[in-house]
Structure 1
Amino acid sequence: MPTISAFYGIIIQMFYGDHAPPHIHVKYGEYKAVIDFQKQEVTHGSLPRRATNLVLDWVELHQAELMDNYLENYRNFVQIISNQNLLPLWSKLWNGMLLKSVLKPITGFLFVLKTAYRVL
């Protein structure tokens, strides 16, 4: 997971080809959180109040770049899976049909794709 920023001991990362909604992963000491940068809110995990406020301020300043980065990663991911003839499978996964019928919901999208490909 590439680190896109680090300050005051806070590490901000974004997965390549990660699931929707657009979000970042934040680590601060033993704390971890996932932040939806469109809504500017913590969706999973927790951080101390000061760290949360610093990250949300940072997100507000960099929201356009975060979305550009997320969309570029998404385009690259689609290009990779289409080059490997995985686009039909990915479409089924994205629509949730395969997840509901075969697999348990899994948060790491690449892991889901790899697991589903083995199942089929």
Structure 2
Amino acid sequence: MPEIDAFLGLSFCLYFFDNKQHKLPHLHVKYGSYELIIAIETGESLEGYLPNKQRKRAESHIAEHKPQLMLMWQKAVQGENPGKLDDMGDVC
């Protein structure tokens, strides 16, 4: 699972071909031993747990980069390396 971004101790990851279980475009956000799966389009928590402060930071970071993350999701579910969020530039 490639890490696509790191921000304030949070690690944002995308699995290849990861559209079977949750179906929605989503990211795996890790912080220490915690992991939360968050829907990219809605910011909804799908599974797992992050402490409240880190969850809010993750949701904000995802909302800020939603267009880029959606493009990266499309690549990842097709088995392509999505690259790093910094490499995507501003897609808006």
- Output the TM-score relative to the length of structure 1: 0.60
Pair member with larger Rg: 1
Higher relative contact order (CA 8 A, sep 6+): 2
How do 1:85-100 residues align onto structure 2 when only pairs under 5 Å count?
none
> For residue 66 of structure 1, what is the aligned residue in structure 2?
69
Cα drift, residue 76 of structure 1: 4.4
- 5+ residue gaps, structure 2, are 81-92
Q: In the alignment, which residue of structure 2 is the partner of 1:5? A: 5
Structure 1 letter corresponding to 2:16: Y
Structure (1 or 2) with the greater strand fraction: 2
Instruction: State the match for 1:47 in structure 2.
Output: 50
Structure 1 vs Structure 2: percent identity of aligned residues? 30
- Structure 1's consecutive aligned runs of 4 or more residues displaced over 4 angstroms after TM superposition are none
Give the CA deviation at 1:74. Answer: 3.0
TM-score for both structures, normalised by structure 2: 0.77
Q: How far off its partner does 1:28 sit?
A: 0.4
Q: How many residues align?
A: 77
Aligned-pair RMSD on alpha carbons?
Answer: 1.3
Which consecutive unaligned segments of at least 5 residues does structure 1 have?
Answer: 78-120
